[in-house]
Amino acid sequence: MIDTDAPVTIRGIAAGGDGVGSLDDGRTVFVPRAATGDRVRLRNVRLHARFARADIASVEEAGADRVVPPCPHYITDRCGGCQLMHLSPSAQRAVKSRIAGDAIRRIAKLDIVDPPVVAAATELGYRTKITFTMQQGRLGYHPINEPTVVFDVRDCLLADPGLRGLHHAVQSARQHLPSDDARVVLRVDHELGLHVIVESDSDGRDVWTGGQALHTELVRAGIVATIWWQPKDGGARTVAGSSESRRAIVFEQVHPAMGQLVRNAALDALGDVAGMQTWDLYAGIGDTTRDLVARGATVASVERDGHAVRLAESLGPSGPRRIAGLVEDQLRTLPKPVAIITNPPRTGMAPRAVDAMLHSGAARIAYISCDPATLARDVAKVVGRYTLSSMQVFDQFPQTAHMECVVLLERK
């Protein structure tokens, strides 16, 4: 019989941000909002064959890393948007360093030390994009581990100051939004323009008629924003305001300053690329391609989002070869590279893409990743021919368990 009322000591933090302890039968238990060194009592214990999950009923003794979270939603509503706000900034960075290092050791089977972490300039107010869910008139986030529930968000401390003002105005005018089955994306673009993108999540909803009324209400509140509507399985279109900036509907880093630091680190890792053929994979709107060209490289880039490729072409320069399509379908059509930068989504590179990269003959590969586990999986596939020469972690998303990693792979 397991005594689930017995206090548990948290010995570390797992990938995803949960604290890790042990029940009295030796079973590992994962506990959100726990800090290393905490001694906690548990509630809502869910037993599985080899592990358990539980919530904190009370903190009997706080670990040294625990701090008071600045956001009231974090505790009161158990907001799932942040996972590490109860830890000090230095503790958050230490957790990310260990998680990244452990992924490479465990999955790629490489004996490395935990990598250094580059801190963000600010712990709050950095996000240039936030996404809310509409549910029964509520505009908000999901509580942790409750994806079917939505609570009203009064203020998101991670949001850029301009986005916070837009959020407050949209909250006041939410009667013009779809009442349910929609996501509401707020963005500030590179020119500080504001955008509201309403995305349908319902097969039966193909029209939203409240865009102009929402725009009018925002103007009355002193907010100038472009309103977009994106039906399910359809393209986004402007319904009110200016439609000039298509950057609002393509992928961009939500923490631009740190995103540039990450790109610079990857470019610096490649060394001198002047006059060399390079690949820019998962190229987005071409920021890395432009930086490679500025360093004298000849660039072939691949990006699946046609909107992003067209925007990259309009932003220039005109020299690079830009291809719209899946990376795994295009690599064998490209000229042999000397150097590669790859920046795949969280799921990592498709197996065929990794294989093509492995056989490309490139001397150096800079791999940018937002998931240490899929990064380690892909590194494991190439270590027969490449050496992992360096690794850095960037605290691109403070208060959350997410991070960016840059590794340099050099041909043996």
Q: How far is CA 373 from CA 8, 201, 216, 240, 378, in A?
A: 27, 29, 46, 42, 9
d(CA 121, CA 119): 6
d(CA 409, CA 269): 9
Residue-level pLDDT at 4: 67
Structural domain boundaries in the chain: 8-66, 100-120+255-411, 129-249
At residue 236 the predicted structure's pLDDT band, cuts being 50, 70 and 90, is confident
Residue 342 CA to residue 369 CA, distance in Å, equals 8
Topology match between the domains 8-66 and 100-120+255-411: no
Q: Which residue shows structure tokens 């503790």?
A: 91
Nearest C-alpha neighbor of 162 from the set 145, 138, 186: 186
Residue type, 157: L
Q: Is 41 left (phi over 0), alpha (psi -120 to 50) or beta?
A: beta
d(CA 205, CA 207): 6
**Domain 100-120+255-411 classification at class level:** alpha beta
Q: Which two tokens stand for residue 353?
A: 């893409």
Q: What CA dihedral angle connects 112, 114, 115 and 120, to 10 degrees?
A: 170
Separation CA 406–CA 263 (nearest Å): 9
- The CA-CA-CA angle for residues 216, 226, 209, to 5°, reads 60
CATH: 3.30.465.10, 2.40.50.1070, 3.40.50.300, 3.30.360.10. Which one for 129-249?
2.40.50.1070
Q: Which of 50-54, 197-201, 211-215 has the lowest mean pLDDT?
A: 197-201
The CATH number of the domain covering residues in 8-66: 2.40.50.140
**Residues 6 or more apart from 219 whose CB is under 8 A from it?**
none
Tell me how far apart the alpha carbons of residues 115 and 99 are, in angstroms, rounded to a whole number. 10
Q: Read off the pLDDT of residues 339-387 as tens digits, 9 standing for 90 and up.
A: 999 999 999 999 999 999 999 999 999 999 999 999 999 999 999 999 9
Is residue 247 pLDDT above 70, yes or no?
no
